[in-house]
Chain A
Amino acid sequence: MAEEEKQLEEFEQIDFLKDRHVRFFQRTLQVLPERYASLETTRLSIVFFALSGLDVLGSLDVIDKDLIIEWIYSQQVLPTDDKSNLGRCGFRGSSHIGIPYSTKGPGVLHPYDSGHVAMTYTGLCSLLILGDDLSRVNKQGCLAGLRALQLEDGSFYSVPEGSENDIRFIYCAACICFMLDDWSGMNIQKAIEYIRGSLSYDSGFGQGAGRESHGGWTYCAIASLCLMGRLEEALSPRELDRIRRWCIMRQQSGFHGRPNKPVDTCYSFWVGATLELLGVFRYTNFEKNRNFILSTQDRLVGGFAKWPDSHPDPLHAYFGLCGLSLIGEPNLRKVHPALNITQGAFQHLQQLHQTWRSSCGQQH
C-alpha cells in the first residue's frame, strides 16, 4: 500500500496543475500581498505577468478584459495641449504619484510624472494580449518619450529624470518600436554598438561593457537584435556559435543565469528563448528542464517559485509557464520567443501592422 501511495505521489509531483495557476494569476490581478509593496511603482509589469500567464494558459476568459484595458490606458502619460511634455510620455507603472484617474487626453502637466520604459513596454504588450487595437495609444508621445531616454552610448534610461542605464532598457525600447511598427523611437545603430560592447570574454552578454555575463542580459541582447532584424548583421557566425555554447552550458537540470549559481525557474525562459532564437533549443534536455520547473510548482497556491520549497511569485509563475511552453507542454499556448507574448497575441499585432500600413500607403 505504502509503495503504491509513494508512486502515486511521485506521479502527482510531475503533474502540471493548470487550474491552480489560473487562480494564482486571477488573485494576482485582484490584490497583492504586503511584501509586494516595494513593487508598487512597477505594478503594470506584474499585471503583464498575470495577463500573459493567463493567455499562455488559454484562460483570459476568467477576467474582465475591458476593465483592465481601461486601467492600463489610465496609466498612459499623454501629451499636454501644447505638447511641452512629449519627452515624458509613455506609460506609468501605477497611480502611485497621485495623478487623477483619466483614460483620455489631453495630458495633465505634473513636474514629476513620466512614463517608465519598462511600463510602456509591458503596457503595450498587455493591451495586445487583451485584444485591444492600440488606437488610444499616443504613438507620437510614446516614441518621443522613448527617444528622450536614449544615451550617447546607445543604452537607455528607464525614466527621463534619469536612472541606471543598461541593456534591459534597450530590450524594452526594441519591443516598443517593434509593437508600434516605428523604429524612429531609437537609434538602432548606437543600440547595436552598445549590445556588441556588452559581449563578454566568455561570449555571454553583460548588462553593459565590462560586466559579467548573465542569462537575462543575453536574452535582452539577442531578442533585441532579432526584433530589429539585425542578428546576423551584428554578430558573426563564430560569435553566434560561441554564444550558443555559453547558453547551452547554462542547463544543469533547469537553467541557471550564471555559472556556479543555482538553477532558477525563470531562466528556463530567458536562456531557453535565447537558444530558441539561435536555433538550438532542440539540443537541450527537455525532460530535466521540465522536471525542474515543475519541482518549483506550488501545489496549493499555484504559480511557480524560483527554487523548490520557496514562495511562488507572479514573475516566476509566468516564466515557469513560458519555459514549459517552449518545450511543448500540452495545453499551453506557444510564446513568441523575442517579443515574449503568445503567438496568438503576436498574430493580432501583425494584423494591426497590416491595417496601419495599408492605411498609410507608402509610409512603410
Chain B
Amino acid sequence: MHGRVKVKTTAQQEEEKRKEREKKLKIYVAARDACFSKRKEGVCDDEALQLTQQLLSSNPDFATLWNYRREILMHLETVKDPDEMQKIYEAELSFLEACLKVNPKSYGSWHHRGWVSARLPRPDWARELSLCDRCLSLDDRNFHCWDYRRMVVKVSGVPVDQELEFSDRLIGSNFSNYSSWHYRSTLLPVLHPQTRQEPPHASSPRGPQSHRVCEEQLLKEYELVQNAFFTDPNDQSAWFYYRWLLGRAEREETISCVYVSREDERVAVAFSRPINARCVGLLLVLDGQPLRVEWRSVHPRFRHSPVLICDLPPGTINDVTNEHNLTVHWTGNHTHRDCALYTGRVESWCRDTATDQELFRSELSVEKTSVLQSELQSVKQLQELEPLNKWCLLTIILLMRALDPLGYEKETLAHFQTLKEVDSMRSEYYSDLCCKFMIENTILKMEYAEVRVFSITDRNLTSLCHLDQLLLVTHINLSSNRLQRLPPQFAMLQCLEVLEADNNFLENLEGVYHLPRLQEVSLKNNKISTLTDLQPLASCPELKRLDLRGNPVTQAASVESDLAELLPSVTDLLL
C-alpha cells in the first residue's frame, strides 16, 4: 500500500479506465485458472512459463506463482543443456527487470532474482551490480536493492575494499545518504578489524556492536564524517555514524561487588548486567568449601536484577572472632570475586568502583583522550557556527561525559538547557537523560569522597536509575524532587539505614522492602494516602523512626493505632 497521490480525472477518463480494467481482469482470471490447472497436472513447460509470466507481470506478489516458476525452471534444467539454460535464465533476468521497473519494492521479484542469479551456469555479477547501481540511482534508500547488492557482493566475492570505494563515491556525491553510511558500517569492521581478544564467555550472543574498527582507520573515518557534518550539520546520517565510530564495545561481564554482612548472615552480589536468579550459574565457596545457597532477587516483582542476595546457614559466620573467606563464582562467565571477612568486622565488601569500571564514561571510546579532546574541539567549533543544532549539542555532551563527567558538569547542564530549547519536541527525554547524568555524577562524587552517603536534592528528578550502584549506601537523601515512587529496584539498597525523601510526590513505596538495616525514614510532604501504601515498611524489622507529616494518610481517623499495629518496631512516629 504505497502512497498514491490524489489526481482529479474527468468522468470520461474514469469510464475508459473502467473498461480497460474489466478487460485486464478477464485476461487475468483466465490465465490464472489455466496456470493452476497446469500446475495441478504437474505440467512444467514453456507455455506454463508464458502463463506465469503474464500473471506475474501484473501481480508480482503472487508467491505461489514464483514457486511454480521455480519448479518449471528446475525441471527444465534436467532436460536442457547448460547453454540453453543460460539463455532461459537470461530471459528470466530480463523479465525480472521489467517486473522491478513496475514495482522496485516487490519482495517476490527480488527474491526470485536472487534465486536465478545463483543458478545461472555463467552468472554475470557485473551486470547485477550495474542493476543495483541503476536502481539505487533512482532510489538510494531502496533496502530491497541494498539487500540484493549485499548478496551479490557476498556470492561473487567482490573485494570489500572495492565496496568501500563504492560507498566512498556515494557518500562523496551525497553526504546525506543514510543507507550508504549504514553499508559502510558493515564494511569497515570486516576490512579493518580491531584486534581484541574475545571475552571468554559465549553466553551472551553478540550483536554487530562488537565489531570494532582499528584505530588508524578510525581516525581517517573521523575526518570523513566531520566533512559530512560540517557540510550539512542538520543531516543525521553522519551524526549517527560518528556516534558509532566514537562508541566502544560492551564491557566484559563481571561481578562488580560482593558484600557480606556478619550480623544478617547474608551475601549480596552485584553484577555488571541484570540476571535471572533462577537461571544463573553461581557457586558460593566459603572457607574453601562450596556452600549450597538459594539466590534470589531483592524483590519478587523484580526478577531480572543486577543484584542478587542469599542467606547463609545460621551460625556460619556470625562469630565475630572468626575470619572467613568467601568467593562467588559466576560459572557461565568464568569469573569470580573474593571477599574476606576479618575478625572483629561486622561487614565486608570487595568491589570495583564505578570509576574503575569506567561505568559512566558515556560509552564512548577512551582509546586516546587526546583524540576525544580534539573531536570535542571540532564539534565545539561547529556549535559556535550552528548554535541551534541539536546534534552538535548532543555530541558535545557525550564527549564531555566521556572525557570528564565531573569536570564538565556545569557545562553539560548548560548544554542540556539549550538542547531542551532547541529540540523542544524531545525536551522531556532530555530532562530524563540529564537526571540520569546527575545521578551518575553524584555516584562518582560519593566514591571519590569514599563515603556511603548518597544525596541528590532539588534536582527535579522524576525517576531513579543505577540503583545497583547504591548497594553499599547507608544514607540516602532524595528530598525536594519529583519522585512518585520508590520502585522494586530500590530494594537493592541492602545496607540502607536512613532514607530521606521529603517533598516529593511519593505514593508508592514498594521498593522499601526487606531492607535489613533500615532504621529511619523521613517522608514529609508526599502523597502517601492509605495504610496500604505503607505496607512495605512492615517488612523492615529495624525501623524505629518514621516521619509522615504532610501526607494525606495522617488525616485518617485511626492512623496512629493502625500504624502501631502495622509497624510495631517504630518508636518515634511523627504525624
Are A and B interaction partners? yes
Task: Give the residues in chain A near B61, CB-CB below 8 Å.
Answer: 38-39, 41-42
Whether A259 and B63, one on each chain, are in contact in the complex, defined by CB atoms closer than 8 angstroms, is no
In the complex, 22 of the A-B residue pairs with CB atoms within 8 angstroms, ordered by the A residue number, are A38-B58, A39-B1, A159-B67, A164-B110, A197-B208, A200-B185, A200-B208, A202-B185, A207-B143, A207-B147, A236-B273, A237-B273, A237-B274, A249-B236, A259-B237, A260-B178, A260-B237, A264-B3, A284-B429, A306-B1, A306-B3, A311-B4
**B62 an interface residue at 8 Å Cβ cutoff?**
yes
Top 8 closest pairs, chain A to chain B, by CB? A283-B429, A201-B185, A199-B207, A313-B1, A232-B304, A285-B425, A283-B428, A202-B240
Whether A41 and B186, one on each chain, are in contact in the complex, defined by CB atoms closer than 8 angstroms, is no
A34, A97, A192, A282: the one contacting B205 at CB < 8 Å is A192
Q: Chain A at the B interface: mostly helix, strand, loop or mixed? A: loop
**B363 an interface residue at 8 Å Cβ cutoff?**
yes
Which chain A residues in 248-300 approach chain B with CB under 8 Å? 248-249, 251, 258-261, 264, 280, 282-285, 288
Binds B, one of A6-14, A209-217, A324-332, A349-357: A209-217
**A307 an interface residue at 8 Å Cβ cutoff?**
yes
Chain A nearest CB from B229 CB (Å) reads 13
Chain B nearest CB from A160 CB (Å) reads 10
- Count how many pairs of residues, one from A and one from B, have CB atoms less than 8 Å apart in the complex: 155
Whether B63 and A163, one on each chain, are in contact in the complex, defined by CB atoms closer than 8 angstroms, is yes
**A315 vs B40: C-alpha distance when bound (angstroms):** 34
Whether A199 and B63, one on each chain, are in contact in the complex, defined by CB atoms closer than 8 angstroms, is no
Task: Give the residues in chain B near A283, CB-CB below 8 Å.
Answer: 426, 428-429, 432
Task: Give the residues in chain B near A209, CB-CB below 8 Å.
Answer: 208
**B209 an interface residue at 8 Å Cβ cutoff?**
yes
Residues of B within 8 A of A (CB): 1-6, 21, 25, 28, 33, 36, 39-40, 58-64, 67-68, 107, 110-111, 141, 143, 146-147, 150, 176, 178-179, 182, 185-186, 205-209, 235-237, 240-241, 243-244, 250, 273-274, 276, 304, 363, 425-426, 428-429, 432
Task: Give the residues in chain A near B64, CB-CB below 8 Å.
Answer: 41, 97, 112, 161
B207, B240, B426: the one contacting A239 at CB < 8 Å is B207
A37, A196, A259: the one contacting B178 at CB < 8 Å is A259
**A81 an interface residue at 8 Å Cβ cutoff?**
no
A159, A193, A310: the one contacting B4 at CB < 8 Å is A310
Whether A251 and B426, one on each chain, are in contact in the complex, defined by CB atoms closer than 8 angstroms, is yes
Q: Interface readout for A95-118 with B: 1 if CB under 8 Å, 0 if not?
A: 001100000000000011000100
Whether B244 and A202, one on each chain, are in contact in the complex, defined by CB atoms closer than 8 angstroms, is yes
Whether A162 and B67, one on each chain, are in contact in the complex, defined by CB atoms closer than 8 angstroms, is yes
- Closest chain A residue to B106, Cβ basis: A38
Whether A232 and B182, one on each chain, are in contact in the complex, defined by CB atoms closer than 8 angstroms, is no
**A82 an interface residue at 8 Å Cβ cutoff?**
no
Chain A nearest CB from B546 CB (Å) reads 31
Q: Which has the most chain B C-beta neighbours within 10 Å: A158, A193, A233, A239?
A: A233
- Closest chain A residue to B2, Cβ basis: A306
Chain B nearest CB from A264 CB (Å) reads 8
**A111 vs B143: C-alpha distance when bound (angstroms):** 33
Whether B6 and A309, one on each chain, are in contact in the complex, defined by CB atoms closer than 8 angstroms, is yes
Task: Give the residues in chain A near B276, CB-CB below 8 Å.
Answer: 233
Q: Interface readout for A132-164 with B: 1 if CB under 8 Å, 0 if not?
A: 000000000000000000000000001101111
Chain B nearest CB from A155 CB (Å) reads 13
Task: Give the residues in chain B near A364, CB-CB below 8 Å.
Answer: none
Q: Chain B at the A interface: mostly helix, strand, loop or mixed? A: helix
A37, A158, A237, A310: the one contacting B63 at CB < 8 Å is A158
Task: Give the residues in chain A near B60, CB-CB below 8 Å.
Answer: 38
- Closest chain A residue to B390, Cβ basis: A249
Q: Interface readout for A341-359 with B: 1 if CB under 8 Å, 0 if not?
A: 0000000000000000000
Report if A315-B240 is in contact (Cβ < 8 Å); known contacts: A112-B64, A233-B304, A282-B428: no
**A249 vs B235: C-alpha distance when bound (angstroms):** 12
Chain B nearest CB from A192 CB (Å) reads 7
**A292 vs B176: C-alpha distance when bound (angstroms):** 24
Whether A212 and B6, one on each chain, are in contact in the complex, defined by CB atoms closer than 8 angstroms, is no
B36, B67, B150: the one contacting A98 at CB < 8 Å is B36
- Closest chain A residue to B189, Cβ basis: A201
Chain A nearest CB from B475 CB (Å) reads 26
- Closest chain B residue to A213, Cβ basis: B182
Task: Give the residues in chain A near B33, CB-CB below 8 Å.
Answer: 98
Which chain A residues in 178-223 approach chain B with CB under 8 Å? 192-193, 196-197, 199-202, 207, 209-214
Whether B186 and A258, one on each chain, are in contact in the complex, defined by CB atoms closer than 8 angstroms, is no
Report if A316-B1 is in contact (Cβ < 8 Å); known contacts: A163-B111, A201-B185: yes
Chain B nearest CB from A315 CB (Å) reads 5
**A39 vs B441: C-alpha distance when bound (angstroms):** 55
Whether B3 and A310, one on each chain, are in contact in the complex, defined by CB atoms closer than 8 angstroms, is yes
A34, A161, A251: the one contacting B425 at CB < 8 Å is A251
**A288 vs B424: C-alpha distance when bound (angstroms):** 11
**A259 vs B87: C-alpha distance when bound (angstroms):** 42
Whether A212 and B208, one on each chain, are in contact in the complex, defined by CB atoms closer than 8 angstroms, is no
**A261 vs B428: C-alpha distance when bound (angstroms):** 24
